[in-house]
Structure 1
């Protein structure tokens, strides 16, 4: 009887583990997909040109976007940059600093869901971002003016190999 109670107790403890995970890996026909933050789908995601067209005349936009990842924070994956296909990129941060993306995500495709904004990034923040991206001291010192740009606060991210989306 003691053995049965012991086995039931162990099974109960194992089943009580934390079931919420902020990162999930999925294999679809040998294509690695990672999911971070809130659960999102690819359905309804727009391309960078469609995103820019929808954003015109607005200062913020709740949207789902798919784009190439060009850069990732080299320290812990706390931000990434996406190619907007117009010669510019957009910095993506993650809601409430609640999740990160893999450090090797550059060169892959991302589907992000959240809020895009137009904002001004001050010199101190730009220099901090440059440090995170392992820029040289010369490159960091060359940052002398604020930038007006797009930013995005994502609640969820899907990352795939480029040929998978």
Structure 2
């Protein structure tokens, strides 16, 4: 199930995992595919390549600042105390049947 969508360009969406609070980001190159906000709550079938990202503390701050700007959320850089590792799917294809 799609739990969140990029409100700025529709270039990513978060897909829920099989455990509570688990999700995976599905990201495409801007403009290759556009996911509408109405996709939130819908089921999706996606295909992609799993990527691992290891970020320094500075990279985490920049990434979270960018995300906050896109979503209008508040962000305090002092809340970041270390780097982090995350995974995402580089999107190759997606189908959202109920759109």
- Please identify the structure whose Cα radius of gyration is greater: 1
Deviation at 1:76, TM superposition (A): 2.0
User: Within 1, Cα distance between the matches of 2:72 and 2:83?
Assistant: 20
Return 5+ residue gaps in structure 1 as ranges: 1-67
Aligned to 1:72: 5
Q: Which residue is equivalent to 1:133? A: 71
Q: Which has the higher contact order (CA 8 A, sep 6+)?
A: 2
**1:110 positional shift:** 1.2
Is residue 2:17 matched to residue 1:84? yes
TM-score, normalised via structure 2 length:
0.74
In the comparison of the two structures, how many residue pairs are matched? 90
Residue 90 of structure 1 contacts residue 149 of structure 1 at CA under 8 Å; is this kept in 2? no
Task: Give ranges in structure 2 of 5+ residues lacking alignment.
Answer: none
Distance 1:130 1:146, change over 3 A: farther
Name the structure where helix makes up a greater proportion of residues: 1
Instruction: Return the TM-score normalized by structure 1.
Output: 0.48
CA shift for structure 1 position 82: 1.1
The range that moved more, 116-125 or 151-160, is: 116-125
The equivalent of 2:90 in structure 1 is 153
Q: Which runs of 4+ in 1 moved over 3 A?
A: none
